[in-house]
Amino acid sequence: MKNLFFIFLFGFLLAFGALAQKQQIDSLKKLLVRMEKQPNFEADSNYLNSLNKLANRHYTINPDTMRILAEKALLLSQKSGYFIGQVDALRNKGISYATKGEHDQALHTYFESFALAEKIGYKKGIARLYNNIAITFRNQGKYNQALDNFFKSLQISEKIDDKFSVAISFNNIGILYKNRGKYEQALENCFKSLRIREKMKDKQATSESLNNIAEIYCVQGNYDQALDLYLKSLKIKEEVEDKMGIALIWNNVADIYIIQKEYVKSIEYQLKALQLAQKIDHKPIVIQAKKGLSKSYLALKKIDIALHYAQKGLVVTNKMSLRAEIRDFNQILSQIYEAMGNHQLALFHHKQFKIYADSLNNLDLERKTANLQAEYEYDKKLAIVQSEQAKKDTEQEAQRHQLYWLIFSILLGFLSVLAILSLVFRSRKKIQKAYIKIQQAKEEIEAQAEELESSNYALHVALKTVNQKNKDIHDSINAAKRIQNALLPLHSELEDALGKDNFFLLFKPRDGVSGDFYWFAERKDTKILVVSDCTGHGVPGALVSIMGMQILNKIVHEERILAPHQVLQLLHIQLVKLLKQAHSQAKEGMDIAIIAFQKLETSGKFKLDYAGAMNPFYFVQNNEIKDIKADKKAIGGSKEEKIFQKQSFEVQSPCEIYLFTDGYQDQFGGEQNRKFMTKRFRELLFSVHEKNMTEQGSILFQTIEDWMKVGKESQTDDITVLGFRL
């Protein structure tokens, strides 16, 4: 009972994964088939993520299939420059090696994935890789290295608030402590995992935690507590219809009843477990049930039935070469034949029992020796580190004491000098007091006259300085405006790409230079349009906008990346790097919408690919305006990893498309002096969409001007609206 299924553990996990994940695999396969009907699906991050998920679901079923799928995902992710896909694919490849017991190859692949994850700052991937590395070390018997990596995974998962991974880390740490015989630490960590999983309402994971805690209670001899948790876990298994889990728990409950010598109850649960395990063809549970039945019937002196189950169990375990189970069944058969008076067969099975028991004891001794050696080396290194740290702490403490005495001495000297100076000043004050009173009136009159003259001169100088500063600032802003305008797309470029009189651009900076910008590029048959709102307005916003345009030029023209969601991902990484936001207080960033479109030769329709960071866009098709939402995360502002989703559409001509920043909707004005608001802006666009685009731009311009005039408001933010018709 205490060493339940240690020999089968690998086979058990494979079977459990196959049953629990079959439905998910089928669903993912159908999803991938649908995605593969879309153009350029091999560069779509959603497709690559789904392919990695499908690979991961095979780790308990077929590690070879998992490796093939992972290598496919890796190749496609490398071609499209999708770094997160590369990290996940390498991780899955490492898991496939680990599942087959190829631990060195697994670790090599994990470390390759880890280096890339660190390079792009993929925190969730780093946490999961630490967990995989720890499991591999644990399977090699390197418990100290395993525990160290489990804690690293836990630390990162807690920092990024990944509750699912936090629960897994606590669970794995608990299992490791249990294997090392440290049951208090094991229970502490397993209970932490249980509480998180209960809050997440993850029934399967909650059931797993209950089972782990029950097994620890069994090892400690707390059978009543273990039985209570097994029954709670059983209730959950029945709710989710986990047949294999139900059969396994029935066997566990039966084993407790054997220990408590309640053999009738034990047989009741073992028969139910046997029947269900045979139905789902789960051999490890079948073997365990037959072992328990043979023990229970032998205890009740029903020798023939006990012999039947023991003989059947030995046949199966011999076929599967399960040495621990062969040992146990030979021991039971020896006891059965002894009870029957057949001493010859009893002796034969006892000898078989001893052979297998000695072999397993030797194997266990080798493992324990390896673990003790690893722990000895680890403790020796730890002692050296602790000794060096203690020496450093002593030196630092002595330096602190010296510094405190130095500061105290300086402070004491300063106070002494201050006291002497105070006495000197008081004496001089008394002597000069009479003289001061005599001169006071004269000095006040002269001071007032000088002050008036000085004030007049200062006002003159200040006015001159202000005028010069104002001119300098105005000249600087005009120069900045010329630079920014030179970087913006030419009107003729937009005419060539979108058609003359087939678009309008409402671009109204608040302070001469703008935190808003628009951008255009064309590669082969794909046209890309961008409208962005950078943090702030005026000169600060303009600086960020210039950075944004330069980064976009590099991504699209030099790196030749056209997919909007990938452009946003790289734009975020490059802006964070350029502003050193990982190590500074800079929080500048931008809200942005990107549209890439091309005409489909086969149907004559247009294909639109869109990705947005806080900035949505509208398009009108078949006399209906559609509001396409953006991801609720901005470019830049923080060093955290950000993934953006691509949305694709097929539209037919005519179709009106509008990109914009929030300046128009947020403008104050009107009779009640309120914001223009999104709803009114969308209704305005829909009301004019049938007019020619030049007229639409004029109407939008005059509407916002009238809105500010009625409310007696000045412009509060940069305003950009770009509309065009396909």
Q: Is 259 helix (H, G, I), strand (E, B) or coil?
A: helix
Lowest mean pLDDT segment, chosen from 285-289, 401-405, 690-694 = 401-405
Range among 1-15, 395-409, 449-463, 645-659 rated most confident: 645-659
Mean pLDDT of 216-237: 88
Instruction: Give the model confidence (pLDDT) of 345-400 as tens digits.
Output: 889 989 888 888 787 776 555 555 444 444 444 444 444 544 554 565 566 566 65
Cα 46 to Cα 72: distance, rounded to the nearest angstrom: 15
CB of 537 within 8 A of CB of 718?
A: yes
Cα 61 to Cα 13: distance, rounded to the nearest angstrom: 9
Mean pLDDT of 198-215: 87
| More confident site: 288 or 431 | 288
The per-residue pLDDT for 20 is: 43
The per-residue pLDDT for 4 is: 39
The per-residue pLDDT for 417 is: 62
Mean pLDDT of 666-682: 94
Range among 10-14, 52-56, 268-272 rated most confident: 268-272
The per-residue pLDDT for 221 is: 87
Task: Quote the distance between the C-alpha of residue 206 and its chain's center.
Answer: 22
Determine the number of helices (DSSP H) and then strands (DSSP E) in the chain: 22, 13
The per-residue pLDDT for 364 is: 55
In whole angstroms, how far apart are CA 544 and each of 301, 411, 477, 595, 637? 86, 48, 15, 21, 12
Does the pLDDT of residue 419 top 80, yes or no? no
Per-residue pLDDT band at 529 (split at 50, 70, 90)? very high
724: nearest Cα among 609, 568, 597? 597
Place of tokens 């947005």: 612
| More confident site: 536 or 675 | 675
Helix (H) or strand (E) holding 621: strand 617-621
Instruction: Give the model confidence (pLDDT) of 580-603 as tens digits.
Output: 887 877 788 999 999 999 998 888
Mean pLDDT of 32-50: 84
Range among 10-19, 123-132, 349-358 rated most confident: 123-132
Mean pLDDT of 517-521: 96
Per-residue pLDDT band at 406 (split at 50, 70, 90)? low
Per-residue pLDDT band at 64 (split at 50, 70, 90)? confident
Can you list the domains of the chain with their CATH numbers?
491-725 (3.60.40.10)
CB of 27 within 8 A of CB of 54?
A: no
Cα 664 to Cα 704: distance, rounded to the nearest angstrom: 7
Question: Which tokens is 589 given?
Answer: 């960033």
Question: Which burial class, exposed, middle or buried, applies to 46 when counting CB atoms under 10 A from its CB (0-12, 13-18, 19+)?
Answer: middle
Q: Which residues, at least 6 apart from 153, have a Cβ–Cβ distance to it below 8 Å?
A: 127, 128, 130, 131, 134, 165, 169
Q: Residue 672 — φ and ψ, nearest 5°?
A: -100, 10
Mean pLDDT of 433-460: 60
| More confident site: 109 or 29 | 109
In whole angstroms, how far apart are CA 315 and each of 4, 196, 338, 627? 20, 43, 20, 68
CB of 611 within 8 A of CB of 645?
A: yes
- Angle between helix 163-179 and helix 123-139 axes, rounded to 10 deg: 20
Cα dihedral value 598, 604, 605, 609, nearest 10: -20
Instruction: Give the model confidence (pLDDT) of 74-123 as tens digits.
Output: 999 899 899 999 999 999 999 888 877 788 999 999 999 999 999 999 99
CB of 98 within 8 A of CB of 132?
A: yes
pTM of the entire structure?
A: 0.43
Per-residue pLDDT band at 429 (split at 50, 70, 90)? low
Question: Which burial class, exposed, middle or buried, applies to 34 when counting CB atoms under 10 A from its CB (0-12, 13-18, 19+)?
Answer: exposed
What percent of the chain clears pLDDT 70, i.e. is strictly above it?
A: 82
The per-residue pLDDT for 615 is: 96
| More confident site: 210 or 41 | 210
Alpha-helical runs (H) found in 488-499: 491-498
Amino acid at 222: N
HSE value, Cβ hemisphere, 13 Å, CA-based, for 118: 8
Lowest mean pLDDT segment, chosen from 145-149, 204-208, 378-382, 509-513 = 378-382
Does the pLDDT of residue 624 top 90, yes or no? yes
Per-residue pLDDT band at 245 (split at 50, 70, 90)? confident
The per-residue pLDDT for 415 is: 72
4: nearest Cα among 281, 240, 404, 325? 325
The per-residue pLDDT for 14 is: 34
Cα 341 to Cα 93: distance, rounded to the nearest angstrom: 57
Does the pLDDT of residue 698 top 70, yes or no? yes
Lowest mean pLDDT segment, chosen from 62-66, 228-232, 418-422 = 418-422
Question: Which burial class, exposed, middle or buried, applies to 119 when counting CB atoms under 10 A from its CB (0-12, 13-18, 19+)?
Answer: exposed
Cα 121 to Cα 100: distance, rounded to the nearest angstrom: 30
Dihedral-angle region of residue 153 (phi above 0 means left; psi in -120 to 50 means alpha; beta otherwise): alpha
Does the pLDDT of residue 442 top 80, yes or no? no
Mean pLDDT of the chain: 83
